[in-house]
Amino acid sequence: MLRLGVNIDHVATLRQARYRRLNDGEPCPVDAVRQAEAAGAHGITAHLREDRRHILDRDIWAIREAVATRLNFEMATTPEMIDIALRLKPEAVCLVPENRAEVTTEGGLNVVDQADVIADAAAALGQAGIEVSLFIDPDPAQIEATAGTGSPFIELHTGAYAEAYREEAKRTAELERLAKAAGQAKSLGLGVNAGHGLNYENTRDIFAVPHLNELNIGHSIVSRAVTIGLGQAVREMLGLMDGYPPAG
């Protein structure tokens, strides 16, 4: 079964648009956790960025308390975030790059050039019983480097596929690139997740990519929830994901 991790960052983004300097406000990320899980989400993803632009420290601790499924904590590979993760004890972390100027995460980790730092972080988190994944582009060199860090999972960055979706030739090429990357990762003993830019139009075609365990989807679900409610938005996405071939 293909699992859905619902990223609730943009619930906090909407709150921060009006309540940035206050200790309370709406919508509440914890309410989003409860609604997403009640609708069938298999996990919750939240990214505590260094600039605290959406999820805040108080949020992540309240989210940890509220999550009944599993928490996937997205984080930069910094001493501060490693310390927080070791105290927070999420079920999983996904190490991601951060650029203060970006609106959202724009690309995958450069594991090739940061292998030692990432390996140290993966070891510390793994020893604490936290599952580690690296958010990377579907690039053979990055996948090979990931296998050397001791991280058991990758999360394939699907942004290029999402951006190419309306042009058939480019869409097909990106799906092939993702499929080859998933196959390479599987051959190296890595588990495979995917996410970024997936929505109600392009998610079904991701079935062309083998070996997937989990999709992490946020912006599209939160956007859909504005008009139909979060629970229904989650149920609709789960319906689109139903039928992914069993892992083999």
The single residue of 10, 42, 47, 211 carrying the catalytic annotation is 47
Q: What is d(CA 24, CA 141) in angstroms, rounded to the nearest whole number? A: 45
Is 47 designated active site? yes
Among the listed residues 10, 54, 74, 211, the single catalytic one is 74
Is 74 part of the annotated catalytic residue set? yes
One DSSP character per residue, 151-171 reads -SEEEEE-HHHHHHTTSHHHH
How far is the C-alpha of 111 from the C-alpha of 29, rounded, in Å? 31
CB atoms within 10 A of CB 74: 27
| 201 in active site | no
End-to-end alpha-carbon separation of the chain, Å?
11
Exactly one of 10, 42, 157, 196 is catalytic; which is it? Answer: 196
Q: Interhelix angle for 219-228 vs 230-241, to 10°?
A: 130
The catalytic residue positions are: 47, 74, 196
